[in-house]
Amino acid sequence: MSDIIFHHYPPSPVAEKVRVGLGIKQLSWHSVIIPRIPPKPLLMPLTGGFRRTPVMQIGADIYCDSQCILRELQKRYPQTSFYAQGSGEMSWALSRWSDTTLFALCAKVILAVAEPDMPAEFVKDRGRLYFGPDYDFAKIREELPQIIAQLRAQLGWVDEQLSSGGKFLQGESATLADALIYYLIWFLRGRWPQGAEFLAQFPAIVAWEQRVQEIGHGSSIEMDAQEALNIAKAVEPITPEYVDPNDPLKLAVGMTISIVPDEDSGEQPVTGTLRFADRDTIGLLYKHDQVGEVCINFPRVGYRITIN
Ligand SMILES: N[C@@H](CCC(=O)N[C@@H](CS)C(=O)NCC(=O)O)C(=O)O
């Protein structure tokens, strides 16, 4: 019952970040394939309406957002640490750059070039989600050289770092830092027709990419989405009842709260009863006929909480 169940779809770059994390730790996991756009009727009962990919489930405890998932993996499986000796938690700062600035540049390049050939429904969904209510792919295409220049300079930093000796970003072993950057290279190479040509100017990145690929994704077996719901229903959440006494929002166990990403992505907040809150993670209880009671965990960073 305490097995890792990973809800994702193969082309998701953010899911690839976590799959690499699962590979670094050589974990075994169950793979539930979810739809690429809503409705996601076999996922929503677990996430309280949160629609992003990926999601991790362990019994009746749900972890939304790759940040929260990777943190939980590090907590439950500290062997083969995500942290290089001495680097620890500062690795998370890297994700504030890679998941925001760098991801947005990659998404602009990839989606703006692909947009004319993408299904209208997908364009509308991703346009609103990633680029706000006034998204304009034609304008992004006009700005492409500027966007590529920004991307090139920032990937240059990664290439320089990798040229300075180590096999991986923080030395001889793969760490969280590698997963946090690799997924964007994977995204560019796999989904941008000019990706391979663009990346060829970064020889150290290209060599490192191969090494990260060789790590793999741990070992996975497919699971039916309904079975995942049944597993949640059969057990109780184990996330402890706890709130940091110094919480700046003065949160308390039992409060009704809503949580939503703090970007303008048009997503619906998730509402539930507060069960857990520390500096990094917030967990709320949520009930649904199909899963009973689950505890849905989110990262604090990048999310806005409202006390109802
Ligand atoms: N901050 C989130 C971002 C996740 C994200 O944007 N994932 C994309 C897929 S790569 C997504 O949710 N797309 C819409 C969807 O799958 O419905 C995380 O780190 O997990």
pLDDT score, position 85 = 82
List, for residues 286-303, the tens digit of each pLDDT value: 999 999 999 999 999 999
Smallest CA-to-CA distance from 302 within 17, 78, 100, 143 is with: 100
pLDDT score, position 10 = 98
Angle between helices 103-114 and 120-131 (to 10 degrees): 160
Helices (H), the chain: 13-24, 44-47, 66-76, 91-96, 103-114, 120-131, 137-142, 144-163, 176-191, 195-199, 203-215, 225-234
Q: Is 1.10.1070.11 the CATH number for 91-215?
A: no
Q: Are 277 and 251 in contact (CB under 8 A)?
A: yes
Q: Is the pLDDT of residue 81 over 80?
A: yes
pLDDT score, position 225 = 98
**Distance from residue 158's CA to the centre of ligand 1 (Å):** 23
What's the CA gap between 108 and 105, in Å, rounded?
Answer: 5
pLDDT score, position 160 = 98
DSSP line for 152-199? HHHHHHHHHHHHTS-SBTTBSS--HHHHHHHHHHHHHHHH-TTHHHHH
Residues of the chain with pLDDT > 70, as a percent, come to 99
Smallest CA-to-CA distance from 175 within 91, 100, 53, 263 is with: 91
**Distance from residue 52's CA to the centre of ligand 1 (Å):** 4
What's the CA gap between 258 and 272, in Å, rounded?
Answer: 7
What's the CA gap between 199 and 204, in Å, rounded?
Answer: 10
Q: Are 21 and 212 in contact (CB under 8 A)?
A: no
pLDDT score, position 1 = 42
List, for residues 106-151, the tens digit of each pLDDT value: 999 999 999 999 999 999 999 999 999 999 999 999 999 999 999 9
Instruction: State the average pLDDT for the chain.
Output: 97
List, for residues 7-41, the tens digit of each pLDDT value: 999 999 999 999 999 999 999 999 999 999 999 99
What's the CA gap between 109 and 26, in Å, rounded?
Answer: 32
What's the CA gap between 46 and 270, in Å, rounded?
Answer: 11
CA dihedral 51, 55, 61, 67 (to 10 degrees): -110
The number of the ligand 1 atom at minimal distance from the alpha carbon of 302 is: 1
Q: What is residue 276's DSSP assignment?
A: E
What's the CA gap between 23 and 77, in Å, rounded?
Answer: 12
Q: Beta strand pairing status for 61-64 and 242-243?
A: unpaired
List, for residues 267-284, the tens digit of each pLDDT value: 999 999 999 999 999 999
Q: How confident is the model over 159-183, as a mean pLDDT? A: 96
The number of the ligand 1 atom at minimal distance from the alpha carbon of 51 is: 17
Q: Are 81 and 130 in contact (CB under 8 A)?
A: no
Residues of the chain with pLDDT > 90, as a percent, come to 97
**Identity at 151, one-letter amino acid code:** L
Q: Are 266 and 307 in contact (CB under 8 A)?
A: no
The number of the ligand 1 atom at minimal distance from the alpha carbon of 12 is: 10
Q: Which fold has domain 4-80+220-307?
A: Glutaredoxin (3.40.30)
Q: Is the pLDDT of residue 224 over 90?
A: yes
The number of the ligand 1 atom at minimal distance from the alpha carbon of 261 is: 1
Classify 274 as helix, strand or coil. Answer: strand
Q: Is the pLDDT of residue 258 over 90?
A: yes
**Identity at 208, one-letter amino acid code:** W
* Residue 198's pLDDT band (cuts 50, 70, 90): very high
What is the pTM for the complete model shown? 0.98
**Distance from residue 53's CA to the centre of ligand 1 (Å):** 4
pLDDT score, position 200 = 99
Q: Are 211 and 167 in contact (CB under 8 A)?
A: yes
Domain ranges of the chain: 4-80+220-307, 91-215
Residues within 6 Å of ligand 1 by CB: 12-14, 36-37, 51-53, 65-67, 99, 129
Q: Is the pLDDT of residue 87 over 90?
A: no
pLDDT score, position 88 = 81
- Token pair belonging to 165: 């000796």
From 8, 9, 14, 126, the mutation candidate for ligand 1 (largest count of ligand atoms within 8 A of CB) is 14
